Structure formats: C-alpha cells, structure tokens
Amino acid sequence: MSEEEAYQTVLATLKEEGIYPYTEDEMQVVKSIERCINCGLCIQHCPVVAAVGLDRFSGPRSIAVELSRSPPEYWTTADVVYLCTGCGTCREVCPKDVDIPEIVNLIRARIFKHRPDLVPKQLHTADAIIVEHGLAFVPWEDPEEKTESRNMRLERLGLRYIPDQVVKGADVLFYPGCQAEERAQEVKESAKIILDHFKVKFTLLEEVNCCGLPATLLGDDETALELALKLKRKVKDLGVKMLVTTCAGCTSNLAHIAERDAWGIPVYHMLEYLVEEIGIAKLSSAFKQSTEEEPLRVTLHDPCHLIKHTSRITMDYAGQILSLIPDVEVTQSFAHDSCCGGGGLVSYHAGDVARAVMKENIAAIEETGATRVVTPCPLCTAQLEDNLFRQGSSVEVDDMTVFIAQRLPQEG
Amino acid sequence: MNLEADVVVIGGGMAGLVAGIRATEEGMKTVLLRKGQSATAYSSGAIDVIGYLPGGTMPLGSPVEGLQGIASMFPLHPYGLLGFTDAEPDTVSKTIVEKVRTAVSWLKATLLSSNIPLFGDIDSNLDAVTVLGTVKPTCMIQETMWPGSLMLDADSVALFAGVRGFPAFNPRMAAQVFLEHQISNRLPPRKVGHHVLDMAPFGNNYNISSIEIARYLDTEDNLSVLAKKLKKHVERIGATHIALPPVLGFNRARENQLALQDLTGAYAFELLSFPPSVPGLRLQRGLETAFVKAGGTLLVGHHAKMDSLKSNIVKEITAVGPKRNLKISTKAAVLATGKFIGGGITGTENGIRESVFDLMTVSESFRIATSTTPQKLTNTIALSHIGHPLFGSGLSIDPQFRPITGEEVHAAKNLYAAGSVLAGYNYPAEKSGLGVAIVTGYMASRNAVDYVKGVSA
Amino acid sequence: MAKYDVVVIGAGSTGTAVARDCAMRGLKTLLLERDDIASATVGTCAGMISSGLKYMDEPNIVDMCSDEVVYFKRIARHIIAKNPILTPLLEMSDLSSGGNFAEEYSKRAETRDVPPVLFLTPEDSLKIEPMLNPDLIASLYFEEYFIDPFALCMLQALDAKQHSADIKTYCEVTDILTKNGSITGVQYFNRIADKMESVKTKAIINAAGPWAHKIAALAGAKLELRLNKGAHVILDRRVVNVGVIAKAIEGRMIYLFPHENTVLLGTTALDTWEDPDTLVASQDEIEYLLKSMEWVIPSIRDARIIRTMEGVRPLVPTWKIPEGDVTRGYEVIDHEPEGVSGLVSFTGGKLVMCRHMAEAATDLVCKNLGIETECKTHNMPLPGNSDDVDIMALAKEYGVSQHTVERMRARRGSETATILELTRDHPEWKTTICTCEPVIEAELRYAIRETFPQTLNDLRRRVRLGTGPCQGTFCTFKAAAILAEELELSGEEFQLDIADFLAERWKGKRQSIRGEQIAQEELAQGIYACVGNLDQAQEELDYDLKPWEEVL
C-alpha cells in the first residue's frame, strides 16, 4: 500500500468511528475545560438556564464537563449547544476561568463541518447571506432607497448629515458593522457626527464587509476567516492608526482578530475612544444645554460583548459620559448587566428562548421608572425594542452613539 | 487605562470583600479585583468561626471556647496570630476573643444593612442541620436557616420536604439520618416524616436546579400553592417544624418563611446544602453590594498580574480583563485570592505555589512547601477529623498579616494577606473557613490602612 | 444444604466466563465472589482485547487471540469499540523488538476486519494526531478492539444467571472441604447475611486470579503464581484522538488509549509480594509513565490526571526471566495428580482469552464428571447485544438529551430503550445524577434492580458513577440516597456507604493529586467534611479502615 493509500485507510476508520482530530488552536480552547471542578456556579448565573430551566438548557457546566470530553460524541450536543447566547457570564463567574463561550463556538464549528444536518435550518439561511453578500444582512439593492431610508432616520432623530469619506492615512477608521451600515443607519450617521464634532481625521471603508462574528457563531469558521483577512487587507490599505466601531460584538470580535492576525492597530468601541482618546475634559465642554423641560430619566443596558468579552470598564465609561450630559438622570436597573438574549444567534431559531431571557431585563427596566433605555450595541437595541414593544411598554430605546450625537451642538 | 488607589484588594471572596469594605469605611480609595466568584459564593450560607479544635473530635460549645483553646495550643493558627501583641502574655486569649468578636459583630451589622440578617454570635455554636440530615456546629446562619426549637423542644416533630426532580436533597434519607443521630444522642425530635413535593417551575419535574426553585418562590402566588401542599402533610404527622432545602427564595426567603408559618402552623427552616447553594450566592451578593455602597470600586472579571516583587514594596498592579488591561497604582495591597478553589494557591508535581506574587508557601505545619509534591501532604484516609495538611497549606504571615519569605522577613512592607490563601489552619476539619476569612480580612485591612495613613502622614 | 455440579470461585473475566459456560452446558453452577463482579484484576486493565501482537514469539497464542476477537465481536459488539493506534517512531530503534510483529499482526487482520499494519509519513501522522512530537520520523498504524471489562464480566454473569446459575457476591470462601482426596464442598462467609454458609459440590474451578494460590491451599493443593503489579494513570478526557504506543524508559512498550470518555496511560510491570488489596500506584510508577510518554506526546504533563489505579497480574510462574518474557498464554491445572481430585485452577491468561480459558476448564470438568457437552459460548450473544440504537429517535421520544442517550448506549447497548421506558411512569427519573458522564436516575435504578450492586462502588462498576473528572464530588451523595432507598438502608449505612465510596475514590486519586484535581478535592472536602460534617460522623459510625488506609 502506498503512503497516500495508507493515510486514506486511516481517515476512513476515523470517519467511521467519528473521530475528528482537534487542531492546535482548538486544543488551546479545549484545554481550559480541564480546569472545571463541576461546581455549578455557572448554572446559577446563566441567563438561559434562569429563563427556560435546567432541563431545556443543561447549561455551561454540562458543556464543559459533560459534552466535550469525548470528541466522537460532539454531535450529540446539537440539541443544546445552539441555545447558548454567548453572553460569557459563565466564564466571568467561573473560579477556574473555563472558556465556555469559545468551547460552544468550537462545538458548533465541528457540527457545521461534519454534521451540517444537525445545524438549525435558520442558521444555514443566515450563513448563505453572509457567504453571498459578505454581510450579516441582505444589503439594499437600490442605493437610492438606502439613501431615502437614511434621510428619514436623520430627520426623525434631528441629526445632521456628514458626508461619507474614504481617505488614506487618516487617524481613525470608523467601522459601522453590518447593522449600522444596512439597517440602523442612524448609528453610522451619529458616529460621523461625533467624529466630525471633535475634528477627528477619520475614514470609512470603501465597501463594508462583516467582521465575521455571526459566521463564527454559527460555526462557519472558513467564511469567518475569509472575512477577517479581507478586512485586514482593507485596513492595511488605508493605513489608519486605529479602528473605532459602534457595535459591541464587532468590538470584541475585532479585538480578537486584530491580535490573532497581527493588524498592529488597536480596536476601540466609540465609548472607549471618547473617554480614552478624546478625554473627559473635552467631552464635558461639548454637551450643549438641554432642551428638555424635565430631566430625562434613562437607564443603561450593558452589552455582554462589551462587559464580558472586552472589559467592564467600558460601561463605566458609558456612565461617565452620561453624567456629563445635562438634564440626563441615570437610574441603574438591577438587571443592567444581564444578557438581553440577542446573542449567540439564538433568536434566529429559538425565538421563545431569546424572549424568555429578556423577561428579567424588561421587569428591571420598568422598575427604574426610566423613559428611555440606552445601550451601545445594535443587537441589544433591536432585541430591547422588539421585546419592549411586545410587552406594550412605553420605554424607548436608544443606541448610545445616537443618544450622544443628538446632544452635541448642531453646527452651522 | 490607569487607575489610582490607596488600597488594592486582590480577590473577591469573604476575606477580600471584608478587607475592601473596611478599607473604604476608613476613607481609603479602594479597588477590588475579582476574576471569578469564590468558595464563599458556593458556601452553605452558614458562617463557621470554629467548630472543632484542630484535630479535635468534640464539637466546641462556642467559638469563644475554641479561641481560648487556640490561644493556648495553636499560637500560629491565623486566630492565634491575633494574640501577638505587645500586651501581657496572660491577656493573649482575651485579645484574640475581643478581636474576633469585633470583626464578627461588624460583619453581622454590615450584612444586616445588605438585607441579610444573621442569627448567632461567638458566645455559642449553633447546631445546624444539613441536606444529608447530619448536624454540624456553626456560629452564625442566615435567619431562615435556624432550626428554631427543633432540637430543644421534647414534643417537636419534623417534616423533611423535598422537591420531585431536585436530586440534591433526598428527604427520606435525610430524615432517617437526622432521627438516628438525635435518638442516639437522646435529643428531640423523636418523630420525623418526609414528603416529596411536586413543584415544577418550568413544567418538568426532573432536572430542577436550586436557583430555579428559589426564583419561582420569589413569586407570592407560587408560595401559597406550596404552603397548601405542605399544610396537608404537616397535619398528617403533626409536624411542628418543616425542613426544606435552601430554595425558599432568592430575594424573599425570609418573607416566605414567615408566610409558611402563618399558612401551615409549622416553623419552616432551610437546611445547609452543598455548592452552589442559594444562600451562598446571597452572601456573595450582599457583600459586593455593601462594598459598592460604601464607595469601593469593584472590578469584575479581572485577575491580577504582577512581575515579581522588586524593592520590597508594591507600587503597581496590572488588572487583566478579557481584552483590556488596566494599571492600578496603589499604596498598599491585600492578597485574598483563596486556596486551590480560588486559585490563589496551586500545586503541581513540583510543588505548591502562590499564583500572583510567587511568594513562599508552607504546609499546614509550616514546613516550606514550594518544592513538595502535593501527594506528600495528604493522608491515606479520605475523610477524617485530621483532614489533609494539603488543605492547610498556603502563605505564612507575620503578626501584621504580611506574607513572609524564607528568611522570615515580610515580602513587601505594604503587602498583606487574608483568607484561605493563608496556611496554618484546616477549615474543612475545623469548620472555620468563613470565620478565618472575616477576621483576617478585617485585621489585614486595618493594618493596610494604618500603613497608608502612616505613609501619607 | 444446597448441592451444585460446580462451584466457581472468583468473578473476574475468567470466573464469569466459566460460570457462563458451565451454566450454558446445563451444569448446576454457583459463582462465589469475595467482593463484587470485576472488583479485582480485570477492573484495573485497559480493556484491550488484543490481537496478540505482543506474543509474536508464541504463534499459537496469536492465532487464538485473533479468533477470540472475532468471537467477541460476534457475541458482544455493543460493548466493543475500535481503537486506532499509532506507534510514532522518533528513531528506527523505537520499533519494538523483532520485525515480524507487523507480519504476525497482519496475517489474520482481515478476519478481524482491520487493515494490516500501515506505515504513515510524519506529516500524515501529525494530521491525525496533532499532539505528537513533531520530530517523529514515521509511525506505524494498526487497529485493535477494546471491550468494557466491567460490562463484559457483568453480562457474562447475567447470562450465567439466565441459565440458572446462582451468583453470590460478597461471599468469601473460607474453606474447601475434601474427603479421601476428593472435593466435597465449599464453606464461605456471606458478608451480606453476616453468617457462614456452605454448599456441596464435587467440582471447583478456581478463578481467583492473584489469590488462586490461597484458594488452592484451602484444599491442601499447591499452586504457584508469579504476581506482577501494573499501574495506570487516568486523564480526564480524550486528550488524544487515537491510541498511542511509545517505547518506555527501559525499552518496554507503554500506551495511551482512549477509554470511554477518558484516556488511560499505562502500564508498568513490577513483581510484587504485597497484599493486592493494599496496593496503590507508586510515585515512581506515575513518573515512569509520564516521562516515557512525554517523548512522543510532549504536552502530556499538561493534561489533567484524575486518578490512578493498580492491579495485579497472576502470571504463569516462570522465573529468572524478565516479566515481558513470561508467556501470555495460560495454564489450566488439574490438581488430581497431587491428590486433590475435583479442583481445577488457572494461572496466567489475558482478558482476550477468558472465553477460551473457560472453555478449556469447563471441558475438563465435564470430562471428569463424565458428561458429554458442547461449548456454545462463542456463538450465543451476551445480553444487550441486539438491535442498533437510534439515539436521536429515543432522545426525542422520551425527552432526554441526545448526549445522555448516546452515553447510555455506549454502556448498555440495546437495554437503552428498556431503561428509558422506565421514565414513563417516573418522569423524575430523567434527572441527571452524575453530571460528568452523564448518568440519569433511571439507569441507576435499573442497575440497582437488575444487577445486584450492594454499594456505591459496585454501582460505579455498572454505570461509571464517579469516574469522571469530579471523581464523585457531586454524584456520591445523590446516588447514595437512591441506593439507600432501593436497598432500604438505615441512615448509618447510608453515611457509611458515602464514606466507603469516597475512600475508594481517594485510593486512586491521592497518588496523583496535583493541578486541577487538588481544587476538585478541596471542593469535595468542603462538601463532605466542612458542610456535611461526615468526617466527624465517621467517628460515631462503624467505619471500617480499608486495607490501603492502614498504613502507618
């Protein structure tokens, strides 16, 4: 038998036995499971377990201790592993730093590659969109309609229009993320307003492509890698000093990719950029006098991708910024740092679970008596809007970037 | 991003949070880093101060008695160190008891203002009942866990009530174990019953977790349904007390306990259970709330990274978050990183190490352990009143609660240590875990604050 | 007094196989076991039913092993898994001695449904197993089969029972009765009933493994054994994708084999005269295994060791040669020539041969009894070996997670559906009790009702309770309550059962305690001592010190 034939024979046995070797990066992630001591603290804090019960979602402990010990059986986890919202609360409370969100991604990647029949149909549909368009949403076919939609939003929110610009050698690349680019355009516009106000030399991308997080979350690692490398090329091409984004998921994902693929530039969420690069001093003098008759009572929602995947400090920044805005009163909700249920692509195929996770947030928000909830994440914004509406609540939702832009002085 | 602090506390369990709250109360700008939750968060919700003397088999009637024993026989025990003052030798015992009383009373008051009332004090140990039906001595328990007159009143009758599909508590075996134990000690009750309740928060009566039940019972309507079911069985056996697993409610446990008494006529109480238990979570949350309310800065999800100690002083600590690091400059630091569970101490085949500063470690009997194979610090018997010296290993400290080096000198003049990262005591055997954490956290913090005030003066 | 045609002593792989064969041939059979099924040597092996490649100097044995593998696949396919194995070579001298190994193995490969020995390039080897030392120059590849040793013994015993044999565990033989040079009966202490009992018989088959010489001595017969101990280190998950074989420090071959959802690193071979009940893996053995495997799997020390185990091989007594040169064949010794008629003993043998050994001994006994019989053990399937199990369908039908059903299938084959059916009347039995494996309450109750465990430790052998990373930290007290309910134990017995099980787990954990396992143990102490106060309760209860605990 030739060497090649020998290898093929071996592969055939491995396939029959369901043995798919871990690669080296997978091994690094899998190693963190070794530390699990089965204490169950993660289950006490998991928002999905709290929302639907331990039987429906056996929880992070089960994923760590039970599900990943025997690779040939990974596919049996398909009835559970897609219900994780990827919030990272488990990892944050784990005394042993077990990296459960990454393990979930790893298992989903294996299922996607070797048992695509077990991936929820809706995720295949989502994947098809990403593969075809390089974006998480189907983009506008007609650029004029896109512009019209944008203008309507600008008018409704009282925002001015700053033209798009693509220049080489700028300091900052503003990356809107798929949602702000194709759907919630007001977020992209607000970011430009903010950057323009502080006279930042910024550029946009000629063509936006998804940062790849949704692809990773549904297990299509190949496409995620392609998108990451594509983005890197564009970034290098523009020669910027840093990247700023208004999307929480993009922040944590790009921070990861930028390090992994050696981009050589830092990645900031707009909040971090404002506090760390612009600075509190400049910010405090920027906010105009309020036009509200009464103080505006708001409450904050902390996106998991910021607090648990990036740093808790980011939402301290949010509080600091809001405290500089006159006539804005912030009341903290008891569930401010509790997952909104919008993550992990759970809402795509198990809407009831996603909505159940949000129940506690809604109750907490109502309890604050706030009229608006502000959050720096497009996914959280959409999830909150949807659920508050269903509840018949009058609380309105603002993306924080928009909230800030609306309160900057309108120039000329 | 940089922060400035007077005192940095590394570790967010009982010891760290006590140290942090005290430092903040004394006017220090305090930053506390915690990476995950701690052994405190898993605890049963009972606060042990000391239940047995080291290696002892007689349950101590009171922590005071135990402290007096420690004063005379175990001077290097963390409690014993409290007696190392300039005062007269014959006041050592009194000094230790006073210091422990101060710290424990302070904690009781602090938790009360976080809405966690505790029952008990150091003048007497209480007998608490566990989910196994065994009895253990402890100093303070959350009010809902006090068994009342169950073991005092000759006519008491206990109903052990579990939940179908909740495997962490088997009422039948617990009732049996408890009754056998009480009868052999000629104590009440002389009659017990058991029952399994049907309570399915999500409709399934299997795979139910404690947190699910607790949240479910936080809703008043659900509690009255429960009360009705219990009442039938209370009347059936003439129960005066109802023993429940600690799932009476996350926020409303106490209200629910009182409501059950009204609705069933019997005194309901929560048993001590195994990790992760709801009362433990309450404790963790109550302490964190107190810290933040006092004005402390809590950095969740961050662990501390240090280059090895240079020049005998800690000036800056890096706090590592998921994707961002912070540098914190500080005037003093308190290390309360826990033992093996918390990760403050680790053991490989090459020895026992301290994980943040790589300080010298010792075994329970204070022999240097940095190159000792962990197996050598264990006994052949898995569960015994002597325990395993491995779980008494950790840092050796001076009377100011500063970790010391091999040369018996403090590792840094402004570095203090508290809690289970310390060596010289065996909490599983002694039943002294949270007590040592509270007292050493209190003392280490006081010394850290004095240092900062002295330096700034 | 009860009368039997044959009494079998020892319920390991050989003893249970003998009881099965005797019972199937119509002999009135009693199987006596001092502890529990598979509680000694067979419980400490890796489970490989090897093709005999180690015995290439004994071609008859190689042929026999190959045949036995085929029989096992026929009668017990539900408890057999294929294990692909790589032997990475860092130098050509790493090949085990003798070039005809490959030839011998490959000769009968087709009958066993495996490819012949293959050579793989270093690149391909690393693709299959990325954890290999990147400096390897080539590797050999071959496939072996693995059987669950506990399940094998239990199923053989159950099959014997189904053919009217009596199985008595916790019965320790105290005397063998003879008259005029012939066996007349057996006396034993029934530890469950707490009394001495005896039975009449004319034939005894001594399958007591490392205690065979002591049993023979009870009848006044002489039996020599060469006792040799071996250690295994168990890692918490499948850290390698395939089995790996490496050349150890002094030239022996050692292995790293996936086993259920753990990985076994073994084994050593040291002659021993110690009481087998007191043996634990030594620090030297643990280090020997790690260091030897480190050459081919450089990151082996990063893996989490959850426990160790130590077993004793009852080798055929050939002396003044290294252990590796002792035959792996077996001997069936008829003690009639030395004046004890009716007693037959075994020495030597490997797991793969147990059916063959049983056949030989049963043939002999039948001949001595003057009965004409036919052996059918190679053809009749063991219980549970019937249809394929559709995991997804069962999971959906009973509302149990897919992974739970898959793991149950791996342990119980076609009994899976029967067990799940119990949840119709008792939905609460869908509750997971052991979260490491996982094992649900239905399986525990089924095992308790059908397979006669007396203790948690016995239950562990049947359902893998407490064999995962947490080593019983969380399942012990839950399972103990279920067992206590089913067996109607007192509160004291319930607590002692917990203490005994924790002691048994500690026996293996202690020797290798390091890294994450220390944190795990601190948690266990926190639960059972700090909260449960069982360390103090033990003082009040009648706790028996175990043989390995009585070390000063």
In a shared domain, residues B137 and B177: yes
Beta bridge partners of B444: none
B44-78 tens-digit pLDDT: 989 999 999 999 999 999 999 999 999 999 999 99
- The domain in which residue A99 lies consists of 3-119
Chain length of chain C = 552
Looking at B220, B251, B271, which one is the last position of a domain? B271
d(CA B73, CA B82): 14
Looking at B214, B246, B271, which one is the last position of a domain? B271
Q: How far is A126 from chain C (nearest CA, A)?
A: 25
In a shared domain, residues C302 and C440: no
Q: Is the peptide bond before C267 cis (omega within 30 degrees of 0)?
A: yes
In a shared domain, residues C504 and C358: no
**Tally of CB atoms within 10 A around B365:** 13
A123 φ, ψ (degrees, to nearest 5)? -75, -35
Number of domains in chain C: 3
CB contacts under 8 A, B 360-389 vs C, are 373-375, 378, 380-385, 387-388
Q: What separation in angstroms does the CA of C60 have from each of A270, C64, C96, C103, C351?
A: 77, 6, 20, 14, 16
- The domain in which residue B39 lies consists of 2-113+281-456
Subunits with 3+ Cβ pairs within 8 Å of C are A, B
Which residues in chain B have Cβ-Cβ distances shorter than 8 Å to C523?
42, 275, 341
Residue B168 binned pLDDT confidence (cut-offs 50, 70, 90): very high
User: Does the structure show a pLDDT above 90 at B219?
Assistant: no
Residue with tokens 């007292």: B439
Residue in B with minimal Cα distance to A273: B1
d(CA B30, CA B5): 6
CB contacts under 8 A, B 114-153 vs C, are 130-136
Q: What separation in angstroms does the CA of C405 have from each of C395, C399, C430, C459, C463?
A: 6, 10, 11, 19, 13
What's the distance, Cα to Cα, between the start and end of chain C in Å?
44
Tell how far CA C255 is from the center of its chain: 17
Which residues in chain C have Cβ-Cβ distances shorter than 8 Å to B378?
510, 513
Q: What was the ipTM of the complex prediction?
A: 0.96
In a shared domain, residues C231 and C353: no
Q: What is the pLDDT of residue A412?
A: 42
Which of A40, A310, A312 comes nearest B276 by C-beta?
A: A40
Contact B169, B271 (CB under 8 A): yes
In a shared domain, residues A77 and A156: no
| Residue C332 forms part of a structural domain | yes
Q: What is the pLDDT of residue A68?
A: 65
Number of domains in chain B: 2
- Residue A248's Cβ-count burial label (10 Å; 0-12, 13-18, 19+) is buried
In a shared domain, residues C198 and C132: no
Tell how far CA C523 is from the center of its chain: 29
C306-354 tens-digit pLDDT: 999 999 999 999 999 988 888 888 999 999 999 999 999 999 999 999 9
| Residue B122 forms part of a structural domain | no
User: Does the structure show a pLDDT above 50 at C17?
Assistant: yes
- The domain in which residue C104 lies consists of 82-144+226-317
Of C221, C162, C171, give the one whose Cα is nearest residue C191: C171
Which of C427, C494, C529 comes nearest B177 by C-beta?
A: C494
Which of C236, C430, C432 comes nearest A34 by C-beta?
A: C236
Looking at B271, B289, B317, which one is the last position of a domain? B271
B114-124 tens-digit pLDDT: 989 999 999 99
Q: Is the peptide bond before B276 cis (omega within 30 degrees of 0)?
A: yes
Q: Do B37 and A93 touch (CB under 8 A)?
A: yes
Q: Judging by DSSP bridges, how do beta strands C330-334 and C343-348 pair with one another?
A: antiparallel
H helix and E strand count, chain B: 12, 22
Q: Do B207 and A52 touch (CB under 8 A)?
A: no
A136-180 tens-digit pLDDT: 999 999 999 999 999 999 999 999 999 999 999 999 999 999 999
- State the SS3 of C149-214: HHHHHHHHHHHHHHCCCEEECCEEEEEEEEECCEEEEEEEEECCCCEEEEEEECCEEECCHHHHHH
Tell me the mean pLDDT in the region A70-79.
80
Average pLDDT for chain A: 92
In a shared domain, residues A368 and A348: yes
User: Does the structure show a pLDDT above 50 at C282?
Assistant: yes
| Residue C32 forms part of a structural domain | yes
Element (H, E) at C231: strand C226-235
Which of A6, A13, A24 comes nearest C82 by C-beta?
A: A13
- Residue B82's Cβ-count burial label (10 Å; 0-12, 13-18, 19+) is buried
What's the distance, Cα to Cα, between the start and end of chain A in Å?
80
| Residue C411 forms part of a structural domain | no
d(CA A198, CA A219): 40
In a shared domain, residues B310 and B429: yes
Residue A292 binned pLDDT confidence (cut-offs 50, 70, 90): low
Q: Where are the alpha helices (DSSP H) in B238-277?
A: 253-264
d(CA A366, CA A268): 31
| B interface test, pick of C443, C492, C533 with most B CB neighbours within 10 Å | C533
Q: Do C403 and A76 touch (CB under 8 A)?
A: yes
Is residue B206 less than 8 Å (CB to CB) from chain A? yes
Contact B18, B437 (CB under 8 A): yes
Per DSSP, A18 falls in state: T
d(CA C132, CA C51): 24
Average pLDDT for chain C: 92
Q: Which residues are within 8 A (CB) of A389 and not within 5 positions of it... i.e. 6 or more apart?
A: none
Q: What separation in angstroms does the CA of B227 have from each of B203, B213, C191?
A: 19, 14, 46
In a shared domain, residues C216 and C164: yes
d(CA C356, CA B434): 60
Burial track A275-310 (b if 16+ CB lie within 10 A, e otherwise): bebbeeeebeebbeeeeeeeebebbbbbbbbbbbbb
d(CA C528, CA C405): 30
| Residue B124 forms part of a structural domain | no
Q: Do B428 and C526 touch (CB under 8 A)?
A: yes
| Residue B126 forms part of a structural domain | no
d(CA A189, CA A150): 8
What token pair was written down for B67?
């402290």
In a shared domain, residues A331 and A260: no
Residue in B with minimal Cα distance to A48: B212
| Residue A338 forms part of a structural domain | yes
Residue with tokens 């018997």: B381
Contact C467, C434 (CB under 8 A): no
CB contacts under 8 A, C 298-327 vs B, are 301
C342-401 tens-digit pLDDT: 999 999 999 999 999 999 999 999 999 899 999 999 999 998 887 788 989 999 999 999
In a shared domain, residues A309 and A371: yes
Contact C201, C5 (CB under 8 A): yes
Which of A43, A53, A312 comes nearest B299 by C-beta?
A: A312
Subunits with 3+ Cβ pairs within 8 Å of B are A, C
d(CA B428, CA B206): 32
